Amino acid sequence: MKLQKSTSLALFSILEFAANPGRQLSAAEIAEKYGASTHHLAKVLRELGRAGLVESARGVGGGYRFSGNARRLTLMDVIELFEDISTRTGESDEFDDSSEVGRALGAVMTEVDEIAKATFRSITVDTMLKLIERQRRALADAGNPPAT
């Protein structure tokens, strides 16, 4: 399962905002960090704003901040704002089901997709922040400086 660029940017943004709940971040800061265009990211942030997950502040030092519930919001909740993967099946995406081989390969891809969807549904933003922190500590323990 491959996510669209907008979806990936939305996930990056939500996790950046949720990790810094008291700080406003500009679209330009996030765009630069993740190698995206500010224009593209602004569109993503507008969609997140419409969903009530981020709110913007105007004026000097204005930017965006997280306004969702990190313990309830799952990765799937964010993904579904940008693409409908809940009904996606391997059969329709990858293989022509007009042949026996295509149908069998499609069944395998469906298995893969179902596991991916269950994973996205089970992981909240709060859980992701804990995972990021564990990885940061593990890197530090191994003597590697954390990536920003």
Partner 1 sequence: MSTPQAQSPAAQELRVRQAEASDLGQVIAIDAEVTGLEKTDYWYELFHRYGGGRTRQRLFLVAEYGDAIQGFIIGEIRDWEFGSAPCGWVYGLSVRNSARLAGVGARMLDAICDGFRHAGVHKVRTLLGRDNSLVLSFFRSQGMMAAPFIPLEKDLD
Q: Residues in the site for partner 1, rule: CB under 8 A?
A: 71, 74, 114-115, 118-119, 121-124, 126-127, 130-131, 134
- Minimum CB separation from partner 1 for residue 30, in Å? 25
Q: Which of 38, 48, 46 is nearest to 78 (CA)?
A: 48
Specify the residue, 5 or 137, whose C-beta has the smaller distance to partner 1: 137
C-beta of 16: minimal distance to partner 1 in Å? Answer: 20
CB 115 → partner 1: shortest distance, Å?
7
Closer to partner 1 at the Cβ: 72 or 103?
72
Per DSSP, the three-state class of 146 is coil
CA dihedral of residues 112, 128, 137, 13 (deg, nearest 10): 110
For 37-93, the DSSP string reads -HHHHHHHHHHHHHTTSEEEE-STT-EEEE-S-TTT-BHHHHHTTT---TT--HHHH
For partner 1, the closer of residues 3 and 116 by Cβ is: 116
For partner 1, the closer of residues 39 and 71 by Cβ is 71
